[in-house]
Structure 1
Amino acid sequence: MTRAMPINIPSNLPAKEVLEKEKIFVMDESRAYSQDIRPLNIAIFNIMPKKEEAETQHLRLLSNSPLQLNITLLHPSTHLSKTTDGKHLNAFYKTFEEVKDRNFDGMIITGAPIEHLDFCEVNYWNELSEMLDWTKTHVTSTLHVCWGAQAGLKHHYNIGKFKLEEKCFGVFEHQILEQNCDLLRGFDDRFFVPHSRHTNTRREDIESEEELTLLSYSEEAGVCLVQSKDKKQVFLTGHPEYETHSLADEYNRDITNGSPIDIPKNYFINDQPSQLPLHLWRAHANLLYMNWLNYYVYQATPYQW
Structure 2
Amino acid sequence: MRNNPITPTIDFDKDGIQHGFLRLPYSRDDSAWGAVMIPVTQFKHGDGPTALMTGGNHGDEYEGPIALYNFANRTDIENFQGRVIVIPAMNFPAFQQATRVSPVDKLNLNRIFPGRPDGSLTEVIADYFSRTLVPMADYVLDIHSGGKTLDFVPFAASHILDDKQQQNACEAAAKAFGAPYYLQMLEIDAAGLYDTLVEESGKVFVTTELGGGGTTYPHTVDIARRGVDNFLIHAGILKGEPRLPDTEAINLDMPDFRSFIFSEHAGLVEPCVAMGDIVREGEVIARIHSIERTSSTAPAEYLAPRDGMVICRHVPSLIKIGDCLNVIAEVV
Question: TM-score normalised by the shorter chain: which range applies?
Answer: 0.3 to 0.5
Structure 1 or 2, whichever has the larger Rg, is: 2
Q: Which TM-score applies when normalising by structure 1?
A: 0.32
> Relative to total residues, which structure has the larger helix share, 1 or 2?
1
> Relative to total residues, which structure has the larger strand share, 1 or 2?
2
Q: Which TM-score applies when normalising by structure 2?
A: 0.30
